[in-house]
Amino acid sequence: MKDFLESSDINCNLYGVYLIKKYLKNNEINDNTIDFLVNQINTEYLLLFTSLFNKNNKKLSYDILYILINIGFNNKGEQLFCSNEKIILNLATFLGKNKNDSYLLKNGIWLIRNIINNFEICKLFLNFDIINFFEEIYERNLLDNDFMKRIILILRQLIKYKLFLKENKIDDDPTCLLPSIKIIKTQLRPNISSDLLFHYIYSLLELASFNSAEVYYEMINNKIHKEIMNLYPLIIDHIKKLNIKIREYEPNINNNIFNQKDKYDEYKKDLDNYNQIVLVMLKILGKIMSKEDGILTQILLDSGIAQFLNRALQTTNVRIIKNVSFCISNICAGTCGQVGNLLENNTLIELIKVGKYIYEALDYNYNIGNEYYKTLIDAFREINYVFSLAISNSLYEKFVPIARYDNYTVVLILVKGLKILNCQDLKILIDLILKAIYKLILYDDEKKKDNNYISFKEVMETNGVREYIEILISNKDEEIASEANKLYNSFFKDSNKNL
């Protein structure tokens, strides 16, 4: 066999490869078949196979790819591919020379997808600039959706590899991944399958996980934020239509009409994908606005994200509310002008409306072990971040009328926040809430109380704030205890004190 592969005669090469392919064709391809083949092959054989690509014979190349794809399905076979750097070099060079042959490209990409789970192989392919190669394929639209999906799965594995290096403090430079953002941007269309769109969107979230300004600016340059804001309402519309279809099919499924089950399962899968997609979209926008310099936040505000967030808040989906609130809290952590943008666009008013829904839902769903209750708490936490940051901002006087909106909903939310969010890992939030409460009461104190309104302090005391502050005075965190003590001594020590 080896003699046939090493021969300078192309016909001998073809015959040697034919014998192996014949073995695969004549035997059912399963774990045992591939195990046997892999056990007969070593690194030297793989080098021989991939070096034969240089013969520039299509028949030979097709057959070699067929064999390599089957070897790549096997864990041991996958290990062989990273045993010698030249194996990957030969493969990458071959694909680069044949990028106009869609059949060879498809099979080459299929092979890479089979073997890319190994981080050593990820490293080798990144060294050979595979992402720029994929970018060219996308630009020329050479492959169908099935193979585009294989490419995005390869890209996701490369991103995971780089994230692994970052988490282990080996390498935190994501520069080599930046071309993948342009690839993904070209594919963000509402008419692709929900499964494919999920992988595109999720790969962006994985890139955002680098928390790198370089990644965020590349996303902005490729207008990812605008693509998301344009896609979001279309996906929400898909979700509404799918919910209607699923409700129509459910009676038939419950009555064991199985011929409709496949369609029902397809709708359910699409619905699950789209529900995940909208959450990931919001997380991406929130991460982009998490950089402390505020420049990226301003770019998104200039692009109309406040109006987008207003529309996104027209829901009772608690997970969506949580992620929209995360976006808003990052804006509230910015400049006065950025908070002012939210005030001008009534974004905080819209959040108060859904905040009241979350506030009341917590009372009706009190079960600490319940998953829905945990989700409510997550959303409630983010809403508290928004309001405490907005009040702590120097524009807080403009926020005061909003704090009175809908029977002091903001105040009720902050007071309940002290009660149920009082745990060590949220000490930053508790500190912010205490400072926000201090500012609201101080506002009434400085204005000598407008007789047309109930004071903030009265509303707070009616809802038990004194007890929660007294508990926090004994908190083991010195900053929280100090802030609680300051608030208590300033406004609550003398119960007869009038504001």
Task: Give the tens place of pLDDT for each residue, 296-313.
Answer: 999 999 999 999 999 999
Q: What is the DSSP letter of 311?
A: H
Confidence of residue 444 (pLDDT cuts 50, 70, 90): confident
Give the separation between CA 309 and CA 272, rounded to whole angstroms: 22
Give the separation between CA 131 and CA 390, rounded to whole angstroms: 42
CB 218 within 8 A of CB 176: no
Confidence of residue 126 (pLDDT cuts 50, 70, 90): very high
Q: Report if residue 242 sits inside a domain.
A: no
Q: Report if residue 415 sits inside a domain.
A: no
What is the CATH number for 76?
Answer: 1.25.10.10
The mean predicted confidence, pLDDT, of the chain is 89
- Those residues with Cβ within 8 angstroms of residue 64's Cβ, 6 or more apart along the chain or in another chain: 17, 49, 50, 52, 53
Q: Which of 95, 91, 114, 113 is nearest to 104 (CA)?
A: 95
Q: Determine the pLDDT at residue 268.
A: 93
Give the separation between CA 124 and CA 121, rounded to whole angstroms: 5
Take residue 389 and report the two structure tokens written for it.
């940051």
Q: What is the pTM of this model?
A: 0.91
Q: Report if residue 31 sits inside a domain.
A: yes
What torsion, rounded to 10 degrees, do the Cα atoms 34, 36, 37, 43 define? 110
pLDDT tens-digit series, residues 57-88: 999 999 999 989 988 887 888 888 888 899 99
Q: Determine the pLDDT at residue 282.
A: 98
pLDDT above 60: residue 496: no
Q: Which of 240, 261, 238, 262 is nearest to 251 (CA)?
A: 261
- Residue with the bigger pLDDT between 147 and 216: it is 216
CB 88 within 8 A of CB 43: no
pLDDT tens-digit series, residues 390-423: 998 877 778 888 999 999 999 999 999 999 998 7
Q: Report if residue 424 sits inside a domain.
A: no
Residue type present at position 85: E
- Those residues with Cβ within 8 angstroms of residue 294's Cβ, 6 or more apart along the chain or in another chain: 334, 335, 338
pLDDT above 90: residue 227: yes
Q: What is the DSSP string of 411-447?
A: HHHHHHHHHHS-SGGGHHHHHHHHHHHHHHHHHHHHT
Take residue 83 and report the two structure tokens written for it.
């045993």
User: How many angstroms from the chain centroid is the CA of residue 398?
Assistant: 34
Q: Determine the pLDDT at residue 255.
A: 64
pLDDT tens-digit series, residues 197-206: 999 999 999 9
CB atoms under 10 Å from CB of 383, counted, come to 28
Q: Report if residue 467 sits inside a domain.
A: no
pLDDT tens-digit series, residues 448-459: 555 677 889 999
Query: How long a stretch of residues is the chain?
Result: 499
Q: Report if residue 90 sits inside a domain.
A: yes
Q: Determine the pLDDT at residue 177.
A: 96
pLDDT above 60: residue 476: yes
CB 34 within 8 A of CB 66: no
- Those residues with Cβ within 8 angstroms of residue 24's Cβ, 6 or more apart along the chain or in another chain: 33, 37, 66, 67, 70
CB atoms under 10 Å from CB of 318, counted, come to 21
Domain extent for 37: 1-128
Query: Largest Cα–Cα distance in the chain?
Result: 103
pLDDT tens-digit series, residues 248-294: 887 776 666 656 788 888 999 999 999 999 999 999 999 999 987 78
Confidence of residue 187 (pLDDT cuts 50, 70, 90): confident
SS3 84: coil
Residue 428: half-sphere exposure toward Cβ, Cα within 13 Å: 7
pLDDT above 70: residue 498: no
pLDDT tens-digit series, residues 90-114: 999 999 888 888 888 999 999 999 9
Take residue 495 and report the two structure tokens written for it.
């119960």
Alpha-carbon torsion (98, 101, 104, 105), positive or negative:
positive
Cα 162-163-165 angle, rounded to 5 deg = 65
Q: Give the number of domains in the chain.
A: 1
Q: Report if residue 120 sits inside a domain.
A: yes
Percent of the chain with pLDDT over 90: 62
pLDDT above 80: residue 356: yes
Q: Work out the average pLDDT over 217-230.
A: 97
CB 83 within 8 A of CB 43: yes
Q: What is the DSSP string of 359-378?
A: HHHHHHT--TT-HHHHHHHH
Residue with tokens 């080798």: 124
Q: Work out the average pLDDT over 322-339.
A: 95
Q: Determine the pLDDT at residue 447.
A: 67
Confidence of residue 207 (pLDDT cuts 50, 70, 90): very high
Give the separation between CA 209 and CA 198, rounded to whole angstroms: 16
CB 306 within 8 A of CB 341: yes
Take residue 193 and report the two structure tokens written for it.
């399958």
pLDDT above 60: residue 155: yes
Q: Report if residue 447 sits inside a domain.
A: no
